[in-house]
Amino acid sequence: MLRQTAVHMRGLLARRASAAVTSSSVRMASHEVSETVDMSRPMYYDRVDVPLPDKPYKDLLTDADKTLKQKEKGPWSQLSKEEKIALYRLMFHQTYPEMKQKTSEWKTVLGGIFFFLGFTGLVVWWQRIYVYPPLPKTFEGDSQAMQLKRMLDMRVNPVQGFSAKWDYEKGQWK
Amino acid sequence: MAHPSQLGFQDAASPIMEELLHFHDHALMIVFLISTLVLYIIVAMVTTKLTNKFILDSQEIEIIWTLLPAIILILIALPSLRILYLMDEINDPHLTIKAMGHQWYWSYEYTDYEDLGFDSYMIPTQDLTPGQFRLLETDHRMVIPVESPIRVLVSAEDVLHSWAVPSLGVKMDAVPGRLNQTAFITSRPGVFYGQCSEICGANHSFMPIVVEAVPLEYFENWSFLMLQDA
């Protein structure tokens, strides 16, 4: 079994080597199904940054399509505008402007975000009323004022912080 | 202590803490510079109209983004190591105090001259007088003379604790069976608060540390009175 795998690997490596060695322009000029560098199955995709996908859009061609492809092999000046557009649509699904078209997805995303923020707000509000115990008495206004006065008297953070912002001569904040 | 809604460090009460504040400013500036650069690059990459994204190598930028981080790291490491060694210097302390961590209080022993020892329990919230700070006040403070080098030997009697006072730039783990030494010198008189900094059970948040730095005569009076009480 190992020997079979080795034979397969050599075949794959040979194909990979030939893909690397042959010029890419030669491969793209005959734009039918092309070899992918990472040996994944060829697939069609519309991407702004990769202009030519692995394979054309339409795989199964009707007879009319096939005659059109034959006509494409001749001089292109003999193709009418509709025929050129039809050939483009055989090869590609969307044009560049169609690919770059803006969607309204952002409205859905933003709406979802606000919805969940609002829901969270409701949960927090409910918690405040029904779950949290009362605040300790040190949070009351009088107690806070006395604590602040004591911090100033103790010269807490006198260099740049708290007490540095109090004017001790005038008895007020600077 | 911290004032309400404080975000930054407390003002330094010891020279080492001053050094740490300056180093923090230096390192934070570098961090801001790097973050701004990265944010700019991210925004540029997301909003670009260019579509050729498959360039695979470039020697010049590789050299830059290897050398520049190395230089930045050296610029951070040099001041950092300087402070590290500064903190370790022998400083001939005037006083040695043992701070022992228990579940859930600290005890201090001043045994240089006499045998002075006392426990320091947090004052419970319901027993606070108006103006006292919740979860920070203790019944007995660790009083020290100001502007004198103090050595603190930190250990624990049961589980791990950690003796920390942010404004002095001091934190030392209290390990049972081990004596850890730290030293500091207070540059100004005042009261400096800290809290236990190693999880030690149910009341880990309720065993604070209060250091009171006073002139030498006050310290001598206090130790005399404490010895009488004991």
- Given this model, what pLDDT does residue A28 score? 46
Of B56, B88, B120, the residue at which a domain comes to its end is: B88
Which pair of tokens denotes residue B142? Answer: 């660790």
B169, B217: one domain: yes
B106, B23: one domain: no
What average pLDDT does the segment B93-109 reach?
Answer: 97
What is the CATH classification number for the domain harbouring B71? 1.10.287.90
For chain B, the average pLDDT equals: 95
- Given this model, what pLDDT does residue A12 score? 53
- Given this model, what pLDDT does residue B138 score? 97
Contact flag A146-B1 (C-beta cutoff 8 Å)? no
Contact B80, B23 (CB under 8 A): yes
Can you give the pLDDT of all 174 residues of chain A as single tens digits?
555 555 455 545 545 544 444 444 434 445 678 877 788 888 999 998 888 888 999 988 899 999 999 999 999 999 999 999 999 999 999 999 999 999 999 999 999 999 999 999 999 999 999 999 999 999 999 999 999 999 999 999 999 989 999 999 998 998
Of B41, B68, B88, the residue at which a domain comes to its end is: B88
Determine, yes or no, domain membership for B159. Answer: yes
Contact flag B1-A151 (C-beta cutoff 8 Å)? yes
- Distance (Å, rounded) from C-alpha B225 to C-alpha B230? 9
B104, B209: one domain: yes
B161, B54: one domain: no
B103, B207: one domain: yes
Torsional sign, CA B162, B212, B119, B193: negative
Contact A49, A99 (CB under 8 A): no
To test the contact with chain A by mutation, choose from B14, B17, B133 the residue with the greatest count of A C-beta atoms within 10 A, namely B133
B27, B101: one domain: no
What is the CATH classification number for the domain harbouring B174? 2.60.40.420
On whether any CB of chain B is under 8 Å from the CB of A166, the answer is no
Shortest Cα distance from B130 to chain A (angstroms)? Answer: 6
Distances (CA, A) of A146 to A136, B46, B132: 15, 53, 8
Q: What is the pLDDT of residues B124-163, one digit of tens each?
A: 999 999 999 999 999 999 999 999 999 999 999 999 999 9
Of B30, B54, B88, the residue at which a domain comes to its end is: B88
**Which residues of A are less than 8 Å from B212 in CB distance?**
none
Determine, yes or no, domain membership for B186. Answer: yes
Contact flag B188-A161 (C-beta cutoff 8 Å)? no
- Given this model, what pLDDT does residue B90 score? 75
B126, B47: one domain: no
Determine, yes or no, domain membership for B193. Answer: yes
Q: What is the pLDDT of residues B152-194, one digit of tens each?
A: 999 999 999 999 999 999 999 999 999 999 999 999 999 999 9
Read off the pTM.
Answer: 0.80
B118, B196: one domain: yes
Contact flag B132-A150 (C-beta cutoff 8 Å)? yes
Read off the pLDDT band of B104 (50, 70, 90): very high
**Which residues of B are less than 8 Å from A48 in CB distance?**
51
- Distance (Å, rounded) from C-alpha B181 to C-alpha A33? 75
Contact flag B125-A151 (C-beta cutoff 8 Å)? no
What average pLDDT does the segment B196-209 reach?
Answer: 97
**Which residues of B are less than 8 Å from A157 in CB distance?**
3, 10-11, 167
How many domains is chain B built from?
2
B116, B182: one domain: yes
What average pLDDT does the segment B45-63 reach?
Answer: 86
On whether any CB of chain B is under 8 Å from the CB of A6, the answer is no
Q: Is A112 helix (H, G, I), strand (E, B) or coil?
A: helix
Determine, yes or no, domain membership for B214. Answer: yes
On whether any CB of chain A is under 8 Å from the CB of B21, the answer is no
Contact flag B132-A149 (C-beta cutoff 8 Å)? no
Q: Is B40 helix (H, G, I), strand (E, B) or coil?
A: helix
**How many beta-carbon pairs below 8 A join chains A and B?**
50
Give me the residue from A49, A137, A160 closest to B11, CB to CB. A160
Q: Is A60 helix (H, G, I), strand (E, B) or coil?
A: coil
B64, B106: one domain: no
Shortest Cα distance from B15 to chain A (angstroms)? Answer: 13
- Given this model, what pLDDT does residue A27 score? 44
Determine, yes or no, domain membership for B126. Answer: yes
Scanning every residue of chain A, which has its alpha carbon at the shortest distance from the alpha carbon of B1? A156
Determine, yes or no, domain membership for B8. Answer: no
Determine, yes or no, domain membership for B3. Answer: no
- Given this model, what pLDDT does residue A9 score? 52
Domain assignment of residue B60, given as a range? 15-88
Determine, yes or no, domain membership for B46. Answer: yes
B82, B103: one domain: no
Give me the residue from A149, A156, A159 closest to B3, CB to CB. A156
B106, B127: one domain: yes
Nearest C-alpha neighbor of B194 from the set B119, B118, B141? B141
- Given this model, what pLDDT does residue A5 score? 53
Give me the residue from A138, A146, A151 closest to B3, CB to CB. A151
On whether any CB of chain A is under 8 Å from the CB of B12, the answer is yes
